[in-house]
């Protein structure tokens, strides 16, 4: 669907000021400003162009957006009471409870889903379809994986067609010993909508996390995967792909912390920036003294398609332990001229050739999404028809 | 095969081209008729690859003078993809690796672009697989290469075979093969030369760029041209190649000096 791009409302204007006040009130804290290090490159004014209020269809909000969700064997839904002990623990452990997007989510009385997985939970797609109506939509999830449990879960946050919305998603995960989670988030957005996506994961030793986030089309998208290896000795694999064009902004601020020895991190973040779009990546990796023999690798690869687009990428390594391997790197390149010419010299027009090369760039991350993602044809959503 | 009445496919007249404001081609003239096989020889840095890239339309090269007619049409005003679609083919000296793009899909998209230009229907994936399997035989290539990324991790010889496979699929009218023989062992050379011979016919033409007689032992050229310092110094029949094999290129410097031209620049390695 084609929507008019957001005209960002200057914070000083009346509408902008009213929206800022409403959001601040909900979160119990003023909007972050670019003077804060964490938000230095990220202008939040697109949030102020979303109509204020909680999005709701005229008949009122359904009590539970997931009442019809059928769960595979091994996956059980807990009610709020049963979940009380675990709710919030990952956020607290990841030092995120006071983080502004998390506070905003809490203030919006989010629809909440808690899933407990014992044994093999198989593969599950979790629809996150926003209700109709302009304004803020908030979801909160908690995934509890018991020792040795496994689950593949795809989140598909989706704004309601024709409505200008700010989607707020907070996902908490607790992985017990030897649990394995493949978590995907396929966030195909629109130019008149924003997404704040926070993920907080606690990993016990022997557990494995693969978390893949794919994001395109949002006026503003902010992804905040945070992982705590509580005693090290776990494996964390993070994948990110974000595409911006027009005046869109996508920002990923990740943080992985090792609180014990022999943890592993393998992180790849990719961005494609066209038009006057802006992509931000900040990857924190914290290796305190207790985390000896940590093995961490972080790579940021970026494709710059226009000279008006902008890419800011920064590793943020805090390494105190001395016996660690910690590799990191970042590249920003344009489509390779020789590759383009080779394709064109075989009769492939310049546009198709460019899309083939971009698709190859994106596939490296897309193929890591849970297999059900294919149904959504993410490559077409990202690049149009090839 | 020389036929004086054969139609002219490519007519290069006094072609001049530069890269980064540095003149490389300094007046190349060459006429290629249907059914002919031409060989262009010359030392490293003499401008052979530049000639091939300019003909294929590489954007790094600026044409500063002269003209190129392809079947009577001004080739130089066409985009590279349009040149390919109407039947010009360049076999690269250094085929490019494209990680993440499947060789099979690349071949199919390219083949369909050429077919569309010829008014033929597009081949779907199944019909194309049949065609590509048949053409693989021309270069005796393992079908496993179709599943890999374009040229990625291919050996030198495998890359050259992949070039000839593309040629077999695109059925060009004028094929320019830039050092398709370099880096091949004798078996691979036989296979590649066999492929080229199989594809050569009365209605198309081939321009072989090579250093070595050994390719010309397998593919007999009708015309041989010696390139030096961005121009064609001498042209002759196949005996010219044999003469070069015997006496080398030393005479080139004397001849260049006599012409008062600049000496050849030392080549910069450009892949
Ligand atoms: N893209 C390029 N950039 C800079 N110099 C180039 C480029 N292509 C060719 N040249 C220069 O042009 C000259 C001719 O090179 P080339 O055409 O590759 O010769 P050959 O193929 O005969 O060995 C050399 O001096 C080479 O360094
Ligand atoms: Mg060369």
**Model pLDDT for residues B144-163, shown as the tens digit of each residue:** 999 999 999 999 889 999 99
Q: Which token pair is B142? A: 């393992």
Q: What is the dihedral of CA B32, B38, B44, B48, to 10 degrees?
A: 20
Count of the separate structural domains present in chain B: 1
What pLDDT shows up at residue A12?
55
B128: pLDDT strictly greater than 70: yes
For residue B204, what pLDDT is reported? 96
Q: Using the mean position of ligand 1's atoms as its centre, give its distance from the Cα of residue B271 in Å.
A: 10
As a whole number of Å, the end-to-end CA separation of chain B is 33
Q: What is the mean pLDDT of residues B95-112?
A: 94
Note whether residue B110 is domain-resident: no
B133 phi and psi angles, rounded to 5 deg: -65, -40
What pLDDT was estimated at residue B225?
96
Say what the pLDDT of residue A298 is: 97
Please indicate, yes or no, if residue B207 is contained in any of the structural domains: yes
Residue of B56, B60, B84, B100 to mutate for A, most A C-beta atoms under 10 A:
B100
- Residue ranges in chain A whose pLDDT is less than 70: 1-13, 59-62, 385-386
Give strand ranges (E) for chain A.
75-78, 111-117, 120-129, 135-145, 150-158, 165-175, 180-188, 194-203, 208-216, 220-229, 235-244, 249-258, 264-273, 278-287, 295-304, 310-319, 325-333
Find the chain B residues whose C-beta atoms sit closer than 8 A to any C-beta of A.
56-60, 79-81, 83-85, 90, 92, 95-96, 98-101, 105-106, 109-110, 113-114, 117, 149-150, 166, 170, 271
Q: Is residue B39 part of a domain?
A: yes
B117 CB neighbours in chain A (<8 A) are: 347
Q: What's residue B261's pLDDT? A: 60
Residue B61 falls within a domain, yes or no? yes
Within a domain: B24: yes
**Residue B113: inside a domain:** no
Write down the mean pLDDT value for chain B: 92
- Kind and range of the H or E element at B199? helix B186-199
Q: Is A240 helix (H, G, I), strand (E, B) or coil?
A: strand
**Residue B16 token pair:** 């001049």
ipTM of model:
0.94
User: What is the pLDDT, as a whole number, of residue A6?
Assistant: 47
User: Among candidates A218, A226, A166, A227, which has minimal Cα distance to A198?
Assistant: A226
| Rounded (10°) angle between helices A350-366 and A337-344 | 120
Provide the domain limits for residue B187.
8-97+172-259
pLDDT for B269 equals 47
pLDDT in tens, B212-247: 888 999 999 999 999 999 999 999 999 999 888 888
Percent pLDDT > 90 in chain A is 85
Q: Does B93 map to a domain?
A: yes
CATH code for the domain in which residue B43 is found: 3.40.50.300
CA distance A115 to chain B (A): 37
pTM: 0.82
Q: Is the pLDDT of residue B253 over 70?
A: yes
């Amino acid at each position: 669907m084609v929507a008019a791009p957001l005209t960002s409302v200057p914070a000083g204007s009346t509408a902008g000021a009213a929206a800022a006040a409403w959001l601040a009130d909900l979160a119990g804290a003023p909007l972050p400003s670019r003077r804060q290090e964490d938000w230095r490159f990220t202008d939040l004014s697109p949030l102020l162009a979303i109509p204020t209020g909680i999005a709701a269809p005229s008949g009122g909000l359904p009590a539970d957006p997931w009442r019809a969700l059928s769960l595979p064997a091994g996956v059980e839904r807990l009610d709020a009471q049963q979940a009380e002990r675990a709710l919030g623990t990952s956020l607290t452990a990841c030092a995120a409870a006071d983080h502004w997007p998390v506070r905003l989510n809490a203030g919006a009385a989010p629809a909440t889903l808690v899933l407990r997985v014992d044994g093999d939970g198989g593969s599950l797609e979790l629809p996150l379809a926003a209700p109709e109506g302009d304004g803020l939509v908030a979801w909160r999830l908690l995934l509890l994986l018991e020792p040795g449990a496994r689950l593949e879960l795809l989140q598909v946050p989706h704004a309601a067609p024709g409505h200008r919305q700010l989607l707020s998603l907070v996902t908490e995960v607790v992985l017990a010993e030897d649990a394995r989670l493949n978590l995907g988030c396929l966030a195909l957005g629109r130019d008149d909508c924003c997404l704040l996506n926070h993920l907080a994961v606690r990993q016990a030793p022997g557990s494995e996390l693969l978390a893949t986030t794919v994001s395109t089309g949002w006026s503003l998208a902010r992804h905040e995967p945070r992982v705590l290896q509580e005693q090290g000795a776990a494996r964390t694999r993070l994948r990110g792909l974000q595409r911006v064009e027009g005046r869109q902004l996508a920002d990923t601020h990740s943080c992985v912390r090792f609180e014990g020895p022999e943890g592993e991190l393998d992180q790849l973040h990719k961005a494609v920036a066209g038009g006057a779009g802006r992509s931000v990546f900040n990857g924190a990796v914290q290796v305190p003294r207790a985390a000896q023999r940590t093995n961490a690798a972080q790579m940021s690869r970026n494709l710059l398609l226009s000279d008006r687009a902008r890419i800011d990428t920064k590793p943020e390594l805090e390494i105190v332990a001395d016996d660690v391997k910690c590799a990191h790197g970042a590249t920003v390149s344009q489509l390779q001229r020789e590759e383009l010419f080779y394709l064109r010299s075989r009769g492939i027009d310049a546009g198709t050739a460019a899309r083939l090369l971009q698709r190859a760039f994106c596939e490296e991350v897309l193929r890591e999404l849970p297999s059900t993602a294919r149904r959504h044809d993410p490559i077409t959503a990202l690049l149009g028809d090839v | 095969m020389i036929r004086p009445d054969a139609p002219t496919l490519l007519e290069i007249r006094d072609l001049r081209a530069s890269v980064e404001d540095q003149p490389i081609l300094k007046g190349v003239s060459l006429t290629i008729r249907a059914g002919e096989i031409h060989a262009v020889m010359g030392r490293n840095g003499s401008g052979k690859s530049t000639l091939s890239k300019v003909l294929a339309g590489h954007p790094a090269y600026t044409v500063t003078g002269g003209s190129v007619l392809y079947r009577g049409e001004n080739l130089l005003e066409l985009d590279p993809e349009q040149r390919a679609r109407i039947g010009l083919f360049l076999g690269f000296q250094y085929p490019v690796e494209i990680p993440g793009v499947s060789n099979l899909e690349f071949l199919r998209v390219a083949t369909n672009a050429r077919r569309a230009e010829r008014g033929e229907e597009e081949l779907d994936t199944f019909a194309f697989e049949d065609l590509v399997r048949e053409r693989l035989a021309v270069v005796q290539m393992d079908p496993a290469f179709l599943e890999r990324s374009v040229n990625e991790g291919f050996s030198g010889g495998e890359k050259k075979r992949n070039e000839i496979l593309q040629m077999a699929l695109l059925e060009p009218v004028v094929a320019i093969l830039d050092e398709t023989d370099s880096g091949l062992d004798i078996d691979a050379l036989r296979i590649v030369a066999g492929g080229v011979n199989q594809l050569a016919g009365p209605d198309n033409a081939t321009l072989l760029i090579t250093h070595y007689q050994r390719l010309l032992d397998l593919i007999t050229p009708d015309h041989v041209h010696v390139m030096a310092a961005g121009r064609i110094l001498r042209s002759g029949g196949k005996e010219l190649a044999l003469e070069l094999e015997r006496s080398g290129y030393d005479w080139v410097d004397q001849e260049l000096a006599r012409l008062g031209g600049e000496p050849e620049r030392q080549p910069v390695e450009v892949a």
